[in-house]
């Protein structure tokens, strides 16, 4: 690695650390002020508050890393231009691509970290923070008109997927239940089906069901065990099932794909929406790289305003990207765009636009 690369990389890494830390702290402060009244009213223990935010930090990191990388990159490049270092590098024969090469490599590495955290850490810790919030900090406000939710699915503790055709929030009752128990390698080892499940005395009771044991090939082992009434060892409380929309965030890529293949009906709107969420898991890590290519030419072209102009460029690029991304994801879930195209549209558009602008920037 050349001296110039090390210098640019050092400046970028320091700025990135500052930006990520600032975003996490600001996010926590805003969230804390938003729920401070509920915490005081419920007398939430301090250690539980620390546990909540400690398990919530990986989610914050995944959500804010692209914007942090964008700000760090623009700040680094703006400083190079501000102190005429960019001019010196250009005079020495370095192209703009050569100058931002360390930033590209580092942003790609950040994308890998985002994917790993989102795929390995967030699914483990997000249910913990969500459960603390639901049970101790914020009560779920059930819709007044709609108390029955269709197609409820959650990733339960113990490496289980629980699916119900419907959930009655008023009665705290599940209907047409399917439970899949996976081993550490995500192989299906047990399947349970039940006609009805309800919450009674702090426990889930399932009725009129059958339990199947399966081998690694997916074939049934032994004789299925039927039951009329069974107390289930399910830690999730009724409010947790009302949050069925959080399923993609509480499952990694492989678990979500398995769920789509086994539960979601082909051609259904539920399957289409879950496929968008699945492909978005692969597109998310590359957001930082896409916005970097667009922001870099603007950072080079800014003549006045210095760092403040650079921050303005960053905010504009970020808002534009997330607006385009939100629209494309909505079009995908509505069936107008194919799921994979809707998840990757914003990334591809900004990547091609950035390459074009970089080649035009002199």
Written as tens digits, the pLDDT of the chain (362 aa) is 588 889 999 999 999 999 999 999 999 999 999 989 888 888 889 999 999 999 999 999 999 999 999 999 988 888 888 778 877 887 888 888 888 999 999 999 999 999 999 999 998 888 788 778 877 876 544 344 467 888 788 878 778 889 898 999 889 999 999 999 988 777 889 999 999 999 999 999 999 999 999 988 778 999 999 999 999 999 888 877 876 545 677 778 887 887 787 766 666 677 888 899 999 999 999 999 999 998 888 777 665 555 677 678 788 889 999 999 999 999 999 999 999 999 999 999 999 999 998 888 76
Number of domains in the chain: 2
What pLDDT is attached to residue 297? 84
Contact call for residues 318 and 291 (beta carbons, < 8 A): yes
Residue 250 lies in a domain: no
Residues 105 and 184 reside in one and the same domain: no
- Asked which of 213, 242, 271 is the last residue of a domain, the reply is 242
State both tokens at 185.
């390698």
Name 332's Cβ contacts closer than 8 Å, sequence gap at least 6.
272, 276, 338, 339, 341, 342, 343
Can you give the residue range of the structural domain that contains 353?
Answer: 3-137+279-360
Contact call for residues 253 and 228 (beta carbons, < 8 A): no
Residue 252 lies in a domain: no
What pLDDT is attached to residue 270? 74
What pLDDT is attached to residue 244? 55
Name 342's Cβ contacts closer than 8 Å, sequence gap at least 6.
276, 279, 328, 329, 331, 332, 333
Partner residues linked to 173 by β-bridges = 168, 198
Name 312's Cβ contacts closer than 8 Å, sequence gap at least 6.
305
Residues 9 and 98 reside in one and the same domain: yes
Q: What is the CA angle 215-219-225, rounded to 5?
A: 85
**Separation between Cα atoms, residue 159 and residue 174, nearest integer Å:** 20
Backbone angles phi, psi at 200, to 5 degrees: -145, 125
Residues 177 and 230 reside in one and the same domain: yes
Angle between helices 287-301 and 96-116 (to 10 degrees): 150
Q: What is the CA angle 342-345-348, rounded to 5?
A: 155
Residues 34 and 59 reside in one and the same domain: yes
């Amino acid at each position: 690695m050349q001296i110039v690369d090390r210098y640019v990389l050092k400046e970028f890494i320091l700025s990135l650390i500052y930006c990520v830390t600032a975003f996490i702290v600001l996010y926590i402060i805003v969230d804390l002020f938003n729920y401070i009244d509920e915490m005081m009213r419920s007398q939430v223990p301090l250690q539980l508050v620390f546990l909540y935010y400690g398990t919530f930090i990986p989610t914050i990191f995944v959500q804010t890393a692209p914007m942090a990388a964008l700000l760090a990159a623009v700040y680094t490049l703006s400083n190079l231009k501000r102190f005429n270092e960019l001019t010196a590098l250009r005079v020495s024969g370095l192209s703009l691509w050569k100058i931002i090469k360390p930033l590209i490599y580092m942003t790609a590495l950040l994308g890998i970290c985002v994917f790993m955290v989102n795929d390995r850490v967030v699914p483990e810790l997000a249910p913990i923070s969500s459960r603390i919030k639901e049970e101790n900090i914020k009560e779920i406000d059930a819709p007044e008109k709609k108390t029955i939710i269709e197609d409820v699915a959650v990733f339960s503790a113990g490496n289980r997927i629980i699916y119900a055709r419907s959930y009655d929030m008023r009665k705290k009752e599940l209907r047409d239940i399917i439970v899949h128990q996976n081993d550490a390698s995500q192989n299906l080892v047990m399947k349970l089906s039940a006609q009805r499940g309800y919450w009674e005395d702090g426990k889930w009771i399932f009725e009129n069901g059958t339990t199947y044991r399966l081998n690694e090939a997916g074939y049934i082992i032994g004789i299925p065990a039927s039951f009329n009434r069974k107390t289930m060892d399910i830690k999730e409380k009724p409010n947790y099932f009302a949050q069925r929309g959080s399923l993609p965030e509480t499952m990694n890529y492989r678990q979500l794909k398995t769920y789509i293949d086994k539960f979601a009906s082909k051609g259904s709107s539920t399957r289409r929406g879950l496929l968008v969420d699945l492909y978005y898991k692969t597109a998310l890590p590359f957001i930082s790289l896409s916005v970097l290519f667009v922001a870099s030419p603007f950072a080079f072209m800014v003549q006045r305003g210095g760092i403040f102009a650079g921050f303005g460029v960053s905010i504009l690029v970020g808002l534009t990207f997330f607006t385009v991304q939100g629209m494309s994801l909505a079009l995908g879930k509505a069936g107008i765009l194919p799921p994979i195209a809707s998840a990757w549209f914003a990334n591809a558009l900004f990547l091609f636009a950035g390459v074009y602008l970089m080649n035009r920037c002199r």
